[in-house]
Amino acid sequence: MTLEAIKSKNQGKVNRAVNWLVKHNDFNNQRDVAEGDGNLKLYDKIDAKCQTTYDKFLDAMWHLPKYEQTKIYKSKLY
């Protein structure tokens, strides 16, 4: 899934942030399934990945201007 940046010079950074957000959302869904199954070992493993991907998403967002961040936060991906 791609999201078009407001200014083309930020497109690479927007793509990076969106990719980490998509990965985080995927791990979050997997974590919810593991929690529902009661598999704590798998839950802990996926939870660590979920935290790592969200930290990388936040780092990518830090490098973007506020108007690009707002566009990502208002998108259906977030």
In this predicted model, what pLDDT tens digit does every residue of 30-78 receive, in sequence order?
A: 999 999 998 899 999 999 999 999 999 999 999 999 999 999 999 999 9
Nearest in space to 14 (alpha carbons), one of 23, 48, 6:
6
> CA 1 to CA 23: how far, in whole Å?
11
| Two structure tokens written together for 74 | 């208002």
Could you tell me if residue 27 is inside a domain? yes
Q: Examine the pLDDT at 1 and tell me if it is beyond 80.
A: no
Could you tell me if residue 5 is inside a domain? no
Could you tell me if residue 3 is inside a domain? no
Enclosing domain of residue 65: 10-74
Residue with tokens 């980490």: 20
Could you tell me if residue 2 is inside a domain? no
| Number of domains the chain contains | 1
> CA 64 to CA 51: how far, in whole Å?
20
DSSP-derived secondary structure letter, 70: H
CA-to-CA dists, residue 5 to 9, 54, 68, angstroms: 8, 20, 7
Can you give the pTM of this predicted structure? Answer: 0.92
